[in-house]
Amino acid sequence: METNQSYLTSAIRQFNYYKALGEKAIDQLEPEQLFTVPNEDSNSIAIIVKHLWGNMLSRWTDFLTTDGEKPWRKRDEEFDVSTTLNNQLNKTEVMKWWNEGWDCLFKTLDSLTEEDLSKMIYIRNEGHTVMEAINRQLAHYPYHIGQMVYIAKMLKKTSWDSLSIPKNKSGDYNTQKFSQEKSTKHFTEEELKKLKKD
């Protein structure tokens, strides 16, 4: 029977999958490409990472006891291109943001129990159950990671290594899947193994 604890396990696995997806996209780029802005109305991958970092620290710090939009968060600065470029940031610093944000998220999720899922927390004074708050971020972060993957793919052009089913290979993928015995496992298990291969 499905339990709330398996919900938490599933959520953690999905966050791990999207974290790995973002890292694989970043790994394919030259360091300077992290700061490439596709056009004046778009963000670089570095800016998106900075925004995810600010959001994660704000949402997941003291998650059960304080509003998810912390008074110390400066959201507008997360999107300030001039600040990012003028500080002459490099890939190491961008990855420091990335890891600090995800560490905060996973530390909090690992501390939660099934009894916590129905508790009420607030984001900008709007009430969410803990489960709703997790779902909110489980939609938000993949949205931005999808942007990162798309930008990286545009920058790499023909030298891009696909992070999902390669183009025109759906038939092969399905044949391989349906040749296996039916099983019950989380859908991210095999995908994470692929992403984490050297």
Return the percentage of the chain with pLDDT > 70, whole number: 81
CB 132 within 8 A of CB 8: no
Residue 128 parent element (H or E): strand 126-129
pLDDT value of position 81: 76
Q: Which long-range contacts (CB under 8 A, 24 or more apart) does 83-90 make?
A: 84/35, 84/44, 84/46, 84/47, 84/50, 85/35, 89/35, 89/46, 90/31
pLDDT, mean over the chain: 88
Output 105 or 37, whichever has higher pLDDT: 105
Range with the poorest average pLDDT among 2-6, 15-19, 96-100, 148-152: 2-6
In this prediction, residues 84-102 reach a mean pLDDT of 84
CA of 69: how far to CAs of 92, 97, 118, 138, 177, in Å? 27, 18, 20, 17, 43
**Domain at 4-196: CATH architecture:** Up-down Bundle (1.20)
What whole-number distance in Å separates Cα of residue 56 and Cα of residue 78?
12
Give the range among 45-49, 77-81, 131-135, 172-176 with minimum mean pLDDT: 172-176
Structure tokens that stand for 141 in this block? 């972060």
**Non-local CB neighbours of 195 within 8 Å, separated by 6+ positions:** 17, 20, 21, 23, 24, 163
3-state secondary structure of 87: coil
Is 38 strand, coil or helix?
coil
pTM: 0.85
- Please report the pLDDT score of residue 85 as a whole number: 54
> Is pLDDT larger for residue 178 or for residue 157?
157
